[in-house]
Amino acid sequence: MNTDITALEKPQYPVVDRNPPFTKVVGNFSILDYLRFSTITGVSVTVGYLSGIKPGIKGPSMVTGGLIGLMGGFMYAYQNSAGRLMGFFPNEGEVASYQKRGGFSK
């Protein structure tokens, strides 16, 4: 089974790593990725709290909303980071960083 996402679409930007492992993608999170991650989580906690006021289940609703936001925020940050490494999103910072370290493959 072919699991290579680049087989369907050509990257528009330089490819840093064609198939990055989990640790490399998470290690490549930018400040903006962490900001988006925490914002999505915070908004989800608030929405969960507010949606639990009327039925009187504020606590469980807030926790559930927070967990959903935590997972969604992480997946969004992961998608952006992996997309930059694979060349699907603008990645000037990653290219410069990996060229300095000698880990950039052309």
Q: Which of 66, 80, 71 is nearest to 26 (CA)?
A: 80
- What is the value of pTM for the model shown? 0.84
Q: What is the pLDDT of residue 96?
A: 87
* Distance in angstroms (rounded) separating the CA atoms of residues 48 and 51: 5
User: CA–CA separation, 18 vs 82, rounded Å?
Assistant: 9
**Which residues in the chain come in under a pLDDT of 50?**
1-2, 106
Task: Single out the residue of 12, 8, 29 nearest to residue 86, CA to CA.
Answer: 12
Beta strands in 1-106, from DSSP E residues, in sequence order:
none
- What is the reported pLDDT for 41? 97
